[in-house]
Amino acid sequence: MRASPDRTARWTEASPIADLLVRAATEHPDRAALVFPTARVSYAGLLAGAHRVARGLLGLGVRPGEHVALLAPNGVEYVEAFFGVSLIGAVVVPLNARHRAAELGHVIDDADVVVLLTTAAEGQHSDLAGALREGLPSLTAAADPTALDLPEARRLRAAALLAGESSPGFLPRSRFDALADGVDPAQVDVLRARVRLRDVGAIMYTSGTTANPKGCVLTHEAMTRGPVDRARHRFGTGDHDVTWSPGPLFHIGTLSPFLGVIGSAGTFVTDVHFDPTRALELLVRERVTVAFPWFPALVQPLLDHPEFDPAALSALRSLLLIGPSVLLERVQTLLPGCELVAACGMTEAAGIYAVSDREDDVDLRSRAQGKACPGMEIRIIDVESGADVGPGVIGEILLRGYSVMEGYYRAPEKTAEALDADGWLHTGDLYSFTPEGQVAFHGRLKDMLKVGGENVAAVEIESFVARHPAVEWVEVVGRPDPRLDEVPVAFVEVRAGHTVTEAELLDFCAGRIARYKVPRAFHFLTADEWPRSATKINKNELRARVAAPAAPLAEVGSTS
């Protein structure tokens, strides 16, 4: 492993979001900024495109501080629009493409969006404009997309296409460009120079799996300072890094490292959607040095792909992955020359807030997620008393520092629940401190089961069941129980080429973990049957499936 740099030789460097692109384009205009399987764009080209979007927004009357919503697939248009909004000091509101139409409508209204940007290119995988019309029914009949007055979105004045020429309710891209032509380019530079680090740069909405999505208000400093520092000093080689992340840019898990790449003038490699064959081709062709797959759902298809060849990934130096120890150990064995980085983060903290050290051994990386990033503070408190806990005791993790959100937009009650008077963010995540002083994840507070008075972390059971050779993936949730309050039940995906029954899994658990931790039932799912949010399995839907006490065992079977 590479030695850690001298921490006394590091200093903080933060800038407004748009300045990341301006600097990279000035210093490395011809370097590839974005790479897709069939397209690439230089920094100079990306800045020119972002500048054009900025002028188009000014032509629509957008002013600094106003909110612009963006719904588009990963692509050049998305990135140009993201930076275009920031160039004029407006606030970008990325929309989750996996939200239902009603959720999209809620976010657009709740966020006080004044302009809505999307794509409707021919052959596009998803009908995003159609989803927006479903969420905003009055949009279809709007006479003028530049002068909207919709009851569903009180502040929305305009809706425009970043790609495409024909979609009801939206201004065609050619007309958007015509508006840009009428704006003096110098206006953009004047507005960019006025942006302050503590101005709001983005409002990132949470997934909304339990209620309407909540908007995390994030400053320019929160969005840029940590990602750029980590890209320069923690994840990469210290030179021109090529970073791959297959996730959607509307999600903080991809957006945060992307901003770090731009801020360090690296090259960002991604795709419109995740396909393991295309992903492997990109990883090899572009000689990727840093990878952000983040979750097992994106790593396992790569490892199991018939064309996976560890030797072809010799350029890879860092790979960030959250998952059970059995998976982390497998990855480290296959890629011994690559640092398997552990980290933890959340939207409310603008991404990563703790990360492993380079000196950590494989064992520590497999059971902990690192220490607080520079500039961040961490506490772990008892969920009942609120007192700080010692090593090995599970409690709620609290965060404080420059990257913590300002609050939830237009939700003072929810903000007061999450942020206390001393500025600590109460995350709702369960962690403990290891003897080494690192944090170890134990699931969400709502994932702490209460079985007959005993606290049981679902992730503890999942980590154990995942060690069965036939188990590809497992999720544990609580099922109501009239005697014990709730009991654990498991959903399992079986590894290809294996078979396993419920009886075999029960036998695997018996005598090896406490009896009250043994799942009372195993439900088997195939890979495409898992309910998912943007990046994770939706446990709320799994809970709904077992909400009735004592679900009959007839529902449980085996698969191959």
User: Cα separations (Å) of 512 from 124, 323, 454?
Assistant: 51, 21, 17
CA-nearest of 149, 164, 178, 182 to 117 is 164
Query: Residues 44-95: pLDDT tens digits?
Result: 999 999 999 999 999 999 999 999 999 999 999 999 999 999 999 999 999 9
The rounded distance, in Å, linking the Cα atoms of 356 and 371 is: 6
Evaluate the CA torsion angle 184, 250, 429, 324 in order and state its sign: negative
Domains of the chain: total? 2
Confidence of residue 535 (pLDDT cuts 50, 70, 90): low
pLDDT score at 294: 85
Residue 557 pLDDT more than 60?
Answer: no
Identify whether 144 is part of a domain: yes
Q: What percent of the chain has pLDDT over 70?
A: 94
The rounded distance, in Å, linking the Cα atoms of 3 and 340 is: 15
Identify whether 244 is part of a domain: no
The number of helices, as runs of H, and strands, as runs of E, in the chain is: 17, 26
Sheet of 343-346, strand order: 343-346, 351-355, 371-372
Q: Can you say how many angstroms the Cα of residue 309 is from the centroid of all Cα atoms in its chain?
A: 27
**SS3 state at 195:** coil
Torsion-angle region of 238 (φ positive above 0: left; ψ -120 to 50: alpha; else: beta): left
| Angle made by CA atoms 427, 428, 430, in degrees to the nearest 5 | 105
431 strand-pairing partners: 395, 441
pLDDT score at 534: 56
Interval 23-39 mean pLDDT: 97
Q: Strand runs (DSSP E) across 356-464, as ranges?
A: 371-372, 376-381, 395-401, 407-408, 425-433, 439-444, 448-451, 454-457
Residue 553 pLDDT more than 50?
Answer: no
Torsion-angle region of 304 (φ positive above 0: left; ψ -120 to 50: alpha; else: beta): alpha
Both tokens assigned to 268: 């960002």
Residue 422 pLDDT more than 90?
Answer: yes
Given a contact cutoff of 8 angstroms between Cβ atoms, the answer to whether 78 and 249 are in contact is: yes
Query: Residues 279-333: pLDDT tens digits?
Result: 999 999 999 999 999 888 789 899 999 999 999 999 999 999 887 777 888 898 9
pLDDT score at 556: 33
**SS3 state at 292:** strand
Identify whether 24 is part of a domain: no
Interval 516-544 mean pLDDT: 87
| Angle made by CA atoms 471, 345, 217, in degrees to the nearest 5 | 135
Domain ends where: 173, 208, 243? Answer: 208
Identify whether 180 is part of a domain: yes
CA-nearest of 471, 499, 473 to 560 is 499
The rounded distance, in Å, linking the Cα atoms of 151 and 140 is: 13
The rounded distance, in Å, linking the Cα atoms of 472 and 306 is: 17
pLDDT score at 560: 29
The rounded distance, in Å, linking the Cα atoms of 46 and 191 is: 19
Buried/exposed code over 372-408 (b: 16+ C-beta within 10 A; e: otherwise)? bbbbbebbbbeeeeeeebeeeebbbbbbbbbbbbebb
Given a contact cutoff of 8 angstroms between Cβ atoms, the answer to whether 524 and 494 are in contact is: yes
Terminal CA-to-CA distance of the chain, rounded, Å? 40
CB hemisphere CA count around 448 (13 angstroms)? 17
pLDDT score at 6: 58
Identify whether 334 is part of a domain: no
pLDDT score at 447: 80
Q: Which amino acid is at 440?
A: A
Given a contact cutoff of 8 angstroms between Cβ atoms, the answer to whether 148 and 139 are in contact is: yes
CA-nearest of 520, 522, 540 to 531 is 540
Which residues, other chains included, contact 79 with Cβ-Cβ below 8 Å and sequence gap of 6+? 34, 46, 50, 249
Mean pLDDT of the residues in the chain: 91
Domain ends where: 208, 234, 252? Answer: 208
The rounded distance, in Å, linking the Cα atoms of 517 and 511 is: 11
For position 535, which CATH number holds?
A: 3.30.300.30
Both tokens assigned to 69: 């919503």
The rounded distance, in Å, linking the Cα atoms of 159 and 115 is: 6
Identify whether 399 is part of a domain: no
Query: Residues 139-173: pLDDT tens digits?
Result: 999 999 999 999 999 999 999 999 999 999 999 99
Buried/exposed code over 17-56 (b: 16+ C-beta within 10 A; e: otherwise)? bbbbbbbbbeebeeebbbbbeeeebbbbbbbebbbbbbbb
Identify whether 156 is part of a domain: yes
For position 80, which CATH number holds?
A: 3.40.50.12780
Domain ends where: 208, 232, 262? Answer: 208
Confidence of residue 549 (pLDDT cuts 50, 70, 90): low
The rounded distance, in Å, linking the Cα atoms of 79 and 159 is: 18
Query: Residues 254-285: pLDDT tens digits?
Result: 999 999 999 999 999 999 999 999 999 999 99
Selection from 90-104, 115-129, 258-272 with the highest mean pLDDT: 258-272
Range of the domain at 63: 39-208
DSSP state of 74: S
**SS3 state at 172:** coil
Residue 550 pLDDT more than 60?
Answer: no
Identify whether 403 is part of a domain: no
**SS3 state at 398:** strand
Sheet of 395-401, strand order: 376-381, 395-401, 425-433, 439-444
